[in-house]
Amino acid sequence: MGVFSATFFPITSTAITCFTRGLDLRKGTEDVLCPANCPLWQFYVFGDGVYASLSSVCGAAIHSGVITNTGGAVRVQTLPGQENYPAVNANGIQSQVLSRWASSFSVTAGAKDTALEAVGRSVSTARPSTGKRPKKTVDKKAGNKDCKADIAFLIDGSYNIGQRRFNLQKNFVGKVAVMLGIGTEGPHVGVVQASENPKIEFYLKNFTTAKEVLFAIKELGFRGGNSNTGKALKYTAQKFFSLDNGARKGIPKIIVVFLDGWPSDDLEEAGIVAREFGVNVFIVSVAKPTTEELGMVQDIGFVDKAVCRNNGFFSYQMPTWFGTTKYVKPLVQKLCSHEQMLCSKTCYNSVNIAFLIDGSSSVGESNFRLVLEFVSNVAKAFEISDIGSKVAAVQFTYDQRTEFGFTDHLSKDKVLSAVRSIRYMSGGTATGDAISFTTRNVFGPVRDGPNKNFLVVLTDGQSYDDVRGPAAAAQKAGITVFSVGVAWAPLDDLKDMASEPRESHTFFTREFTGLEQMVPDIIRGICRDFLESKQ
């Protein structure tokens, strides 16, 4: 046989990440290579055809139809800034409105004959001259770092499954646990048994190696009773994933529910609770109910109502507990696909909330304290951390004072302490200028971050300046505005500031003591808007 040789042309494309922005590129024209399977719902894209440079390059390329989410070569052309970048829904991505930005870019298909694509295809199939695939070395103690997840296996321990199939279930769960690559820096797992009453068999923190977990699973005893899976799912979502029990900040939380037959209680409410707690629920169903048994099932659509999303990804069907080895790897691949964990982000851990607080003379010192109490009570509902939700506060009269920004206090206790320390300014009322100041100085540094932005404006009177223009500019910049008026605040001003639909973003009370009753409405409103933005 002759010796095969190949000549490659110079590689001109640069591999980028899903979230590389136009402003991160340095050349006027640049060929880049977008990866596959980017999480579409996390893209920030501004405009249509011509995109503001703070947009994701790959997001813009998918939005414009240059590539699909399988990745590909893209040519990026730098353009001057412009006004009025429109919002357009295309190819699964909703671009956002932006009133003005300093620079732009356009995207076209990259060169098809670049060597990078050929090399990229060949890398995964390359072999050393021995013909053997090089082994990937994994530190057994650290575990599989590419599959960081906190996972609760909710196993079926009811009379429905019986002792024999219960043992087969344990065997399957053990194989899944081993293949996950459990370790200190990889996935952590625990087990809850569903029966008449749920029982946490062991927590995430109890075992850090696959060998220990496998032994613990083998030692589990069969409990029996009804398959109250809904009760167990709700209990697990609420109690299992605490920091004290070994849950880690910023790591996807997953409950894998193993169900033999059907649940004897309702799963819908439990699924809602799990989503509120940021838990991704998978249902692994084995031996579906027979036609004769369907009459005993409370809700035939129980799987779709329990899972994180009813898009098919979060449900997994096995016909029997026998011969399940071939089902282990596909399930593990799902559990390690972190970009698909759509329920990890919730309104509680993925928002930026700025409070714009009226410090004018008409408020008074005692009422100002009630306003700060309102701010604290809203903030308490959210999971504030360096990787979670963030809170900022600005006080205004004729002037504005940033009390603290989004990155100044990265824990709930520190935010609440900072709110208590705010000193009353006293002065006039220029709400419009204050909104512009907050949009520019407080939201500006975080505008292209992963969290959704909210502004809560609290005022007790007529503004001396225009509020409509600054509020519209804030909304165009992707900020949802809630207006909260007290005493003499004009309803027209409040509605002019509020986002659409204005009725659900405008609040008013005659007395400052009435702010307390508004707290749950503001929290629900933020969560409602957050969920709608993810649809």
Looking at the DSSP bridge assignments, the partners of residue 78 are 105
Domain ranges within the chain, ordered by starting residue: 14-119, 145-340, 351-533
Predicted pLDDT of residue 249: 80
Instruction: Band the pLDDT of 40: cuts 50, 70, 90.
Output: confident
Least confident of 141-155, 194-208, 285-299, 315-329: 285-299
Predicted pLDDT of residue 61: 94
Same CATH fold assignment for domains 145-340 and 351-533: yes
Q: Is the pLDDT of residue 446 over 50?
A: yes
Q: Where are the beta strands (DSSP E) in 203-325?
A: 253-260, 279-286, 315-318
Question: How many other CB atoms are found less than 10 A from the CB of residue 305?
Answer: 17
Average pLDDT across the chain, whole number? 86
Left if phi > 0, otherwise alpha if psi is -120 to 50, otherwise beta: which for 246?
A: left
CB 436 within 8 A of CB 356: no
Q: Name the class of domain 145-340.
A: alpha beta
What are the structure tokens assigned to 322, written together? 């026998």
- Identify the CATH number of the domain defined by range 14-119: 2.170.130.20
- Rounded CA gap, 529 and 535, in Å? 10
Predicted pLDDT of residue 323: 85
> Per residue in 488-533, pLDDT tens?
999 999 999 999 999 999 999 999 999 999 999 999 999 889 878 7
Peptide bond just before 252 cis, omega within 30 deg: no
User: CA nearest 391: which of 368, 377, 370, 407?
Assistant: 407
β-pairing, 479-486 with 390-396? Answer: unpaired
Q: In what helix (H) or strand (E) does residue 467 lie, and over which residues does it extend?
A: none
- Identify the CATH number of the domain defined by range 351-533: 3.40.50.410
- Rounded CA gap, 193 and 199, in Å? 5
> Per residue in 154-205, pLDDT tens?
999 988 888 999 999 999 999 999 999 999 889 999 999 999 999 999 999 9
Strand, helix or coil for residue 513: helix
